[in-house]
Amino acid sequence: MRLYYRDTAIWIALAVIIGLIVGVLDAVFGRVLLIITSFRTAHFFYLIPFLTIGGLITVFLYQRYGKVAGRGMGLIFNIGHHTDDVIPKRLIPLAMVATWLTHLFGGSAGREGVAIQIGATVANRIGDIAKVKNRHIMIMLGMAAGFSGLFQTPFAATLFAVEVLVAGVIYYSAILPTLVASVVAAQTSRFLGLSRISFSIVNLPKIDPLTIIKLLILGVIFGIVGFGFSWLLVKTKIKLATLLPNPYTRIIVGSIILSILFMTLGQGRYSGLGTNLILDVFQGGHIFAWDFILKLVLTILTLSLGFQGGEVTPLFAIGATLGMVLGALFGLPLTFVAALGYAAVFSSATNTFFAPILIGCELFGFSLLPYLFITISVSYAFNFNHSIYSAQSILKAKKTDH
């Protein structure tokens, strides 16, 4: 028992260190990204023609300097599964710069992939210094800190980290230190000026049999859309790599097509993170019925060509805009269904259950909990064990302590 408390104290101490470092890095990465996004929005037509240049620089950097770091999230998962040992420190500047380039020139991508890679790299390095053998726990601390520092949702980040490595398995023993790393990272990045988007959903329908039936159907739709995103992302990457095996040729041809699409489809409406769409949903802006489809397709193309970033924020935008459309069809409050979609599509695409529920609660209010639980229970079941994280291990119907 004494040994258990000693080990727990050590994990917590390491979690504090990781949270502080990752919180600072997330704040730098996130604030620069916000500046870049504002600049791109103001000068979109001057920057979008140079998307090819940004892509070529990205490919060059990863071809010239990336090496094993070019495996990105796959490498992070392999470290967590103990099939790799080293995450090069150069992964951090490479991922940050490449993502900034993607967003500067108008690519449709997220940011969480970079934040998680930053956190995992820092945590793994500290694990080397401290000679920690349980490297999967260190990776969880880093992933949680990276996610929380960027999105400022420490509870969701904690559950995300302990359930995402192996779908169907919860690493209960890692929850406390992971929560500490998440809280410290979130508070650090917030102190350094990084804020989060949150909205209060107060117009909630009564929970009755008809509402429950509607939530179950919504869960099916959100689940299939999340599955579709993850499945198409994997297939498109493989198909493009087969058709255009040279990464430079692939990025040139694809970027020219993307530039034309971004200019003609909404004039930059579908570029970047998708936070513009999220704000339109929850602040009374105009949403088109096809917004979620175009954001989905353009994000998949952007990432499949080799641009860097992430998938989560675009998934939030896809889920929210789809929810807005479905809310009108189902006769439910629009922003209520949008909040459900925000979390449920993320759940399906990442093959996680508890983290999306907490994301919904932290961003939209804990009064949404029963509705989220019902909807996400279905969306999680309808992802058919697919995930945007191709290196995620699958172990269904079994949750054990490790």
Q: Where are the domains of the chain?
A: 2-191, 209-394
Burial environment of residue 376 by CB neighbours within 10 A (0 to 12, 13 to 18, 19 or more): buried
How far is Cα 61 from Cα 63, in angstroms, rounded to an integer?
6
For residues 288 and 76, what is the distance between their CA atoms, to the nearest angstrom? Answer: 37
pLDDT at 1: 67
Q: What is the pLDDT of residue 3?
A: 75
Query: What pLDDT was estimated at residue 397?
Result: 42
Q: How many residues does the chain have?
A: 402
In tens, the pLDDT along 96-126 reads 999 999 999 999 999 999 999 999 999 999 9
Cβ pair 74, 390 in contact under 8 A? yes
CATH topology for the 209-394 domain: Clc chloride channel (1.10.3080)
Q: What is the 3-state secondary structure (H, E, C) of the chain?
A: CHHHHHHHHHHHHHHHHHHHHHHHHHHHHHHHHHHHHHHHHHCHHHHHHHHHHHHHHHHHHHHHHHHHHHHCHHHHHHHHCCCCCCCCCCHHHHHHHHHHHHHHCCCECCCHHHHHHHHHHHHHHHHHHHCCCCHHHHHHHHHHHHHHHHHCCHHHHHHHHHHHCEECCCCHHHHHHHHHHHHHHHHHHHHCCCCCCCCCCCCCCCCCHHHHHHHHHHHHHHHHHHHHHHHHHHHHHHHHHHHCCCHHHHHHHHHHHHHHHHHHCCCCCCCECCHHHHHHHHCCCCCCCCHHHHHHHHHHHHHHHCCCCCCHHHHHHHHHHHHHHHHHHHCCCHHHHHHHHHHHHHHHHHCCCHHHHHHHHHHHCHHHHHHHHHHHHHHHHCCCCCCCCCCCEECCCCCCCC
What pTM was computed for the model? Answer: 0.94
pLDDT at 153: 96
Same fold flag, 2-191 and 209-394: yes
Q: Taking the domain 2-191, which CATH number applies?
A: 1.10.3080.10
Token pair, residue 40, equals 């791109």
Burial class (CB in 10 A: 0-12, 13-18, 19+), 352: buried
For residue 82, what pLDDT is reported?
83
Which residue numbers in the chain have pLDDT < 50?
396-402
Instruction: Count Cβ neighbours within 10 Å for each residue of 190-214 and write b for 16 or more, e otherwise.
Output: eeeebeeeebebeebbeeeeebeeb
Determine the pLDDT at residue 297.
98
b/e string for 276-308 if b means 16 or more Cβ within 10 A? bbbebbbeeeebeeebbebbbbbbbbbbbbbbb
